[in-house]
Amino acid sequence: MKVVGFVGSPRKKGNTTTIVNEVLRGATEAGAETKIFNINELGIRGCQACYKCQTPEGKCVQTDGMAPLYDEIFSADAVVIGTPVFMFQVTGQTKIFIDRLFALLYLKDGKPGAFRNKIKGKKVITVYSQGQPDTSLFASSFDLNEGVLSFLGFKVEGRIAAGGMASLDSVHGDQAVMNKAYAAGAELVQQKQ
């Protein structure tokens, strides 16, 4: 089994990365192969709305940092997408990444709105870290993002929302979040077996 993590934080060693790594550690120790990518470092451009990806075999024609990530997603059994919360929602880096996942769809018979999925049922765990202690405050934004992921063909297996992450290493003091992250990764693998 393969689990791939994507982190949309500008901080390489922040709370979001720590939580995603803990999910991946749980998966690794349960027998999965894992990888992690920092979206901020990959120079991913926004979707250009050219629609060249919109055929069953089509791929995004941009040759930027997103290009190799499609193969990683297709070859994975599950993915983990982590982001800090900026201005009530995912970071710009994460939003661009999700926009570029449009290439996972295609138009049936070229008809607008008649989308089909190139992937179906691939598992995803979402990770959100925020300075605000109340994790329910931005839940509607999280629901929206997970709705988009479901529309793309992913099966949302769980959400980890960490509140009160005011400093770069706050999550190290939140054993409940770390335990939840580890267990989520292990469960991804156990469900596959």
What separation in angstroms does the CA of 22 have from each of 17, 36, 89, 182?
9, 11, 22, 5
Given a cut of 70, is residue 190 above it in pLDDT?
yes
Please report which helix (H) or strand (E) contains residue 19, including its range.
Answer: helix 15-29
Q: Say what percent of the chain tops pLDDT 90.
A: 82
Number of domains making up the chain: 1
Task: Supply the CATH number for residue 124's domain.
Answer: 3.40.50.360
Q: What is the pLDDT of residues 92-122, one digit of tens each?
A: 999 999 999 999 998 777 666 678 889 988 9
Neighbours of 11 (CB within 10 A): 15
Q: Do residues 130 and 85 make contact, with C-beta atoms less than 8 angstroms apart? A: yes
Q: What pTM does this model have?
A: 0.94
Residue numbers of the domain that contains 33: 2-192
Which residues lie below 8 Å from residue 51, measured CB to CB, with a gap of 6+?
A: 107
